[in-house]
């Protein structure tokens, strides 16, 4: 019965999504997971607060860690998903109260207690560190516009205060502008009502469409704030209750500041709100947040990078094919006696035929890294693909991190399969020890991540930041890893042990061949090979880093997906070419070099991260903030090294197997 009842609900949801897509203009898009909420005139609107953030420290703090006004009914936490908790978001109720389409002015919020010396010192420090207050209305962050020359800059949130000389000023008056659009599309509303989906979990009756067309309603399509610093007389606020009319007229002028903070003196907080009808439709309400500065340069730079790298990779690939094909054709046209004579006369990859598949040093570590690389690469591909399709939109906070974690856990089965399959191939079909390989694969990268994140978490705990992962969440993450990822990795390892191993096309001699002395160290060439994959990524990397550390919204996942595919292709080709070059100089130790020839791109990404820290995050202050930045960057580059190195190893293995399967050898 439950399944039968669920089917019509699913069909109705699909119909609602299809109707929304059909009715969306070409310049807008409908964000999956977000639905329009209809507000009747006079219906209460609640503003929520998120953590205080700063690009100066990158350490978030709770909104109520500063002496701000609290709601009369007490502070209530909003439900947060796993991704929001990991990102340091702490969404709580706020004292700001609006009524739909009801303009209000000169509203008293509260008169704070006199600033104690610790509160006074903390408020000054947060102003020096450029902390921003982040407000949310109907899932829209408050946006602030500032004028610079002939254009406007967009910011999310507003600063706690500003320092002028030796004086500190706090923004104690907020001028809100709520952009609203008349509710429309009753057909979509009727479908969603029948499906029982509505904002904040409120069920919509099945006949809501008929009522919606008759009753007036509004949708919130914009939320803007202008902070002002106004000197209020604290005595005027004594006789006025919260949300009452302030005795004197308040004029908000953002170009001047007058509310300087002083020790043992209270702060009076006020606000005003106005509702403005807008032509912005519901699907387009996130456009103001998703507009990136220099968009044309962004698109042109990525396209230019793609064309150049694709052209260079194509040339390398064609040269390689012609060279290998010529060598193979000459070799196969000779009879066995002439081949033996040719082997004595010629040098190159044909002379390492009996050593090329000799087991590498530390084979278990290589299998573990390849398995984890497959898992990370699979997670990245699936996550970016879902994000490009709109299922992980910025309107759904935390879904990107939650999705990445979910896909990583589930794809543990690929990690186990790949690591054990490589292990079995290296051992020529002997799968003994596959349980140990699977277990070590399940623990290798998560263990590194746990070590780095625990160290950084202690720093955040010491700073009393909301970015610190709670102990209970640590327990949840460990249980998710132990109960989902580890069993799936063992299952994948079992499947890999049962799968047939890849047979080598040639036999390996018992005595290894001596590698001739090289003019240049081979590892120097391996480390330099990472520059070409880095060239496909560095432009997009700037926007990703700006999104992470500068608080900007990243949304061009379609281009990121294309860049990632190109990165995979270039990593495969670079590793393939390097492997061929090593074989040509009779260096048969290609296993690890094929992994690091493409994985070395992580070194350049880490160097770029340091460059970004020095030149783009100049204001980053304190050893704790720098340690957090470098720690997260190290975590990121290790994951990239495993993923790109795995691509290079798999491509080189396939190439070597194909190359020597074409050789006639006794």
What does the buried/exposed string (b/e) look like for 338-375 if buried means 16 or more CB atoms within 10 Å of the residue's CB?
Answer: ebeeeeeeeeebbbbbbbbbbebeebbebbbbbbbbbb
Task: Report the alpha-carbon distance of residue 624 to residue 462 in Å, rounded.
Answer: 10
pLDDT of residue 3: 36
Angle between helix 623-661 and helix 434-462 axes, rounded to 10 deg: 160
Mean pLDDT of 294-311: 64
Specify whether 407 is located in the same domain as 365.
yes
Q: Pick the more confident residue, 321 or 517.
A: 517
Nearest to 364 by CA among 443, 462, 304: 443
- Rounded to an integer, the average pLDDT of 523-535 is 85
Does 513 reside within a domain? no
Which residues face 175 on adjacent strands?
226, 272
Please check whether residue 446 lies inside any domain of the structure.
Answer: yes
Pair (421, 537) in one structural domain: no
CA distance 416 to 485: 10
Whether 15 is covered by a domain: the verdict is no
For the stretch 233-248, pLDDT in tens is: 888 888 889 999 998 8
Residue where a domain stops, chosen among 258, 289, 320? 289
Average pLDDT on 640-664 reads 88
Q: Where does the pLDDT of residue 188 fall: very low under 50, low under 70, confident under 90, or very high at 90 and above?
A: very low
Question: Which residue, of 289, 305, 322, is where some domain finishes?
Answer: 289
Give the pLDDT band of residue 323 (cuts 50, 70, 90): low
pLDDT at 36 over 50: yes
> What's the CA gap between 399 and 406, in Å, rounded?
10
pLDDT confidence bin for 287, thresholds 50/70/90: confident
Both 493 and 545 in one domain: the answer is no
Residue 513 has pLDDT above 90, yes or no: no
What is the DSSP-derived secondary structure letter of residue 483? I
CA dist 547 and 541 (Å) reads: 10
Q: Which residues contact 76 (CB under 8 A, 6 or more apart)?
A: 92, 93
**The dihedral sign for the CA sequence 302, 303, 304, 308:** positive
Same domain? 456 vs 603: no
- Can you tell me which residue has the tokens 């990795």? 489
Whether the predicted pLDDT of 648 surpasses 90: yes
Here the tokens at position 537 are: 């990524």
β-pair partners for 218: 39, 182
Residue 451 resides in a domain: yes
**Cα diameter, the chain:** 109
Which residues does residue 239 pair with via DSSP β-bridges, in sequence order? none
Q: What tokens does 294 get?
A: 């220099």
- Kindly report, residue by residue over 608-632, the tens digit of the pLDDT: 999 988 888 876 777 888 899 999 9
Helices 434-462 and 486-498 sit at what angle, rounded to 10 degrees? Answer: 160
pLDDT tens by residue, 110-126: 999 999 999 999 999 99
> Looking at residue 189, what is its pLDDT?
41
Q: Which two tokens stand for residue 353?
A: 């035929």
Residue 141: the pLDDT is: 92
Q: In a 10 Å sphere around its CB, with 0-12 CB exposed, 13-18 middle and 19+ buried, how is residue 325 labelled?
A: exposed
Q: Please give the average per-residue pLDDT across 548-552, as a whole number.
A: 75
Indicate the SS3 state at residue 197. Answer: coil
**Is residue 415 in some structural domain?**
yes
User: What gap in Å lies between CA 649 and CA 647, rounded to an integer?
Assistant: 6
Q: What is the DSSP string of 14-39?
A: HHHHHHHHHHS-TT--PPTT-----B
* β-pair partners for 155: 144
**Which of the pair, 355 or 132, is modelled with greater confidence?**
132
- Chain mean position to CA 464: 24
Exposure letters 436-447 (e unless 16+ CB within 10 A, then b): ebbbbbbbbbbe
Give residue 335's pLDDT.
56
Calculate the alpha carbon distances from 351 to 507, 528, 592 in Å.
13, 26, 20
How far is it, in rounded angstroms, from Cα 245 to Cα 109?
Answer: 10
Phi and psi of 337, rounded to 5°? Answer: -70, -40
> Do 276 and 141 share a structural domain?
yes
- Is the pLDDT assigned to residue 79 strictly greater than 60? yes
* DSSP tag of 67: S
pTM: 0.81
Closest C-alpha to 417, from 385, 383, 373, 382 = 373
Instruction: Give alpha helix (H) positions in 333-411.
Output: 336-345, 363-388, 399-410
pLDDT-derived band at 10 (thresholds 50, 70, 90) equals very low
**Whole-number pLDDT of residue 297:** 56
Segment holding 179, helix H or strand E: strand 173-182
Residue 190 has pLDDT above 90, yes or no: no
Give the domain range for residue 643: 525-665
Range name among 184-188, 205-209, 427-431, 535-539 with the lowest pLDDT average: 205-209
Compute the distance between CA of residue 558 and CA of residue 241 in angstroms, rounded to an integer. Answer: 52
Is 145 among the domain residues?
Answer: yes
**pLDDT value at position 208?**
41
H or E stretch covering 584:
helix 557-584
Number of domains in the chain: 3
Q: Of 33-37, 91-95, 171-175, 520-524, give the lowest mean pLDDT range.
A: 33-37
Q: Are residues 480 and 557 in the same domain?
A: no
Q: Which two tokens stand for residue 560?
A: 């990121």
Strand partners, 141: 136
**How do strand 268-277 and strand 173-182 relate by DSSP bridges?**
parallel
What is the per-residue burial (b if ≥16 Cβ within 10 Å, else e) of 465-498? Answer: bbbbbeeeeeeebeebbeeebbebbbebbbebbe
The confidence band for 31, taking pLDDT boundaries of 50, 70 and 90, is very low
Pairing of strands 158-159, 135-137: unpaired
Instruction: Say whether both 277 and 382 belong to one domain.
Output: no
Query: Beta strand 173-182 with 218-228: parallel, antiparallel or unpaired?
Result: antiparallel
Would the pLDDT of 106 be above 60?
yes
State the pLDDT at residue 1.
Answer: 35
Most confident of 85-89, 447-451, 657-661: 447-451
- DSSP 3-state percent helix, strand, coil across the chain (nearest 5): 55, 15, 35
Query: Over the stretch 333-388, which tens digit does the pLDDT of each residue have?
Result: 555 555 555 554 445 667 778 788 888 989 999 999 999 999 999 999 999 999 88
Claim to verify: residue 495 and residue 530 sit in the same structural domain: no
Q: Which of 602, 595, 597 is nearest to 633 (CA)?
A: 602
- Is 385 in the same domain as 457? yes
Q: What pLDDT was estimated at residue 345?
A: 47
Instruction: Output the six-digit token pair for 664.
Output: 């006639």
In a domain, 205, yes or no: no
* 459 in any annotated domain: yes
- Beta-carbon count within 10 A of 601 CB: 31
User: Do both 150 and 267 map to the same domain?
Assistant: yes
Residues 485 and 529 in one domain: no
The pLDDT, as a whole number, for residue 666 is: 42
Question: Is 407 buried (19+), middle (13-18) or exposed (0-12) by CB count in 10 A?
Answer: middle
* Cα dist from 337 to 319, 326, 341, 354, 526, whole Å: 30, 20, 6, 18, 37
Helices of type H across 468-529: 471-480, 486-498, 522-528
What does pLDDT average to over the chain?
A: 81
Inter-residue contact 419 to 493 (CB < 8 Å)? yes
Phi and psi torsions of 158, nearest 5°: -140, 155
Q: What percent of the chain has pLDDT over 70?
A: 80
Does pLDDT of 192 surpass 50?
A: no
Domain end: 261, 289, 317, which one?
289
Q: Which two tokens stand for residue 182?
A: 């008349």
Judgement on whether residues 471 and 381 belong to the same structural domain of the protein: yes
With a pLDDT cut of 90, the percent of the chain lying above it is: 42
197 pLDDT more than 80: no
Burial state string for 525-550 with b = 16 or more CB within 10 A and e = fewer than 16: ebeebbebbbbbbbbbbebebbbbbe
The Cα–Cα gap between 157 and 553 comes to 13
pLDDT at 56 over 50: yes
């Amino acid at each position: 019965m439950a399944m039968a009842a669920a089917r019509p609900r699913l069909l109705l949801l699909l119909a609602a999504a299809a109707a929304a897509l059909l009715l969306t203009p070409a310049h807008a898009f409908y964000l999956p997971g977000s639905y329009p909420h209809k507000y009747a005139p006079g219906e209460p609107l609640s503003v929520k607060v998120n953590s205080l953030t700063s690009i100066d420290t990158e350490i978030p703090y709770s909104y109520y860690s500063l002496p701000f006004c609290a709601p009369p009914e007490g502070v209530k936490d909003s439900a947060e998903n796993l991704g929001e908790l990991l990102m340091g978001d702490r969404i709580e109720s706020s004292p700001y109260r609006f009524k739909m389409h009801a303009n209000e002015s000169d509203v008293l919020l509260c008169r704070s207690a006199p600033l104690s010396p610790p509160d006074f010192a903390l408020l000054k420090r947060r102003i020096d560190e450029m902390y921003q207050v982040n407000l949310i209305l109907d899932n829209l962050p408050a946006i602030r516009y500032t004028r610079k020359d002939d254009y406007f800059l967009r910011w999310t949130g507003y600063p706690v205060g500003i320092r002028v000389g030796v004086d500190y000023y706090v923004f104690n008056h907020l001028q809100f502008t709520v952009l609203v659009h008349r509710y429309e599309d009753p057909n979509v509303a009727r479908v969603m009502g029948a499906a029982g989906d509505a904002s904040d979990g409120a069920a919509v009756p099945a006949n809501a469409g008929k009522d919606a067309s008759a009753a007036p309603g509004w949708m919130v399509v914009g939320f803007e704030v202008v902070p002002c610093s106004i000197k209020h007389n604290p005595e005027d606020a004594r006789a006025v209750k919260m949300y009452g009319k302030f005795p004197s007229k308040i004029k908000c002028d953002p170009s001047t500041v007058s509310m300087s903070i002083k020790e043992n003196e209270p702060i009076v907080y006020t606000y005003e709100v106005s509702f403005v009808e807008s032509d912005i439709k519901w699907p387009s309400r996130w456009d103001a947040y998703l507009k990136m500065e220099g968009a044309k340069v962004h698109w042109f730079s990525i396209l230019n990078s793609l064309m150049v790298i694709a052209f260079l990779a194509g040339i390398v690939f064609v040269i390689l094919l012609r060279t290998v094909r010529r060598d193979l054709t000459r070799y196969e046209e000779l009879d066995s006696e002439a081949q033996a004579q040719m082997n004595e006369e010629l040098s190159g990859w044909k002379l390492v035929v009996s050593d090329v598949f000799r087991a590498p040093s530390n084979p278990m570590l290589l299998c573990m890294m390849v398995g984890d690389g497959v898992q990370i690469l699979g997670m990245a591909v699936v996550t970016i693909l879902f994000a490009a399709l709109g299922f992980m939109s910025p309107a759904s906070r935390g879904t990107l991190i939650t999705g990445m974690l979910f896909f990583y856990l589930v794809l543990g089965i690929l990690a186990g399969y790949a690591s054990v399959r490589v292990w079995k191939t290296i051992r020529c079909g002997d799968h003994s020890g596959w349980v140990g390989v699977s277990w070590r694969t399940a623990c290798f990268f998560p263990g590194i991540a746990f070590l780095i994140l625990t160290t950084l978490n202690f720093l955040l705990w010491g700073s009393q930041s909301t970015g610190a992962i709670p102990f209970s969440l640590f327990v949840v993450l460990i249980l998710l890893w132990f109960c989902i990822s580890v069993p799936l990795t063992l299952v994948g390892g079992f499947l890999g042990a049962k799968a047939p191993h890849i047979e080598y096309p040639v036999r390996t001699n018992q005595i290894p061949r001596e590698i001739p002395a090289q003019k240049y160290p081979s590892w120097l060439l391996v480390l330099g090979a990472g520059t070409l994959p880095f060239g496909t990524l560095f432009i997009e990397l700037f926007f990703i880093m700006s999104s992470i550390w500068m608080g900007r919204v990243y949304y061009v996942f379609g281009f990121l997906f294309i860049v990632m595919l190109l990165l995979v292709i270039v990593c495969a080709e670079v590793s393939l070419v390097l492997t061929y070059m090593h074989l040509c100089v009779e260096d048969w130790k290609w296993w690890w070099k094929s992994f690091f020839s493409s994985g070395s791109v992580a070194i350049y990404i880490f160097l770029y991260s340091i460059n970004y820290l020095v030149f783009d995050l100049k204001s980053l202050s304190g050893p704790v903030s720098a340690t957090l930045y470098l720690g997260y960057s190290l975590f990121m580059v290790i994951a990239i090294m495993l993923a790109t190195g795995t691509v290079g190893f798999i491509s080189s293995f396939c190439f070597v197997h194909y190359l020597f399967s074409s050789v006639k050898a006794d």
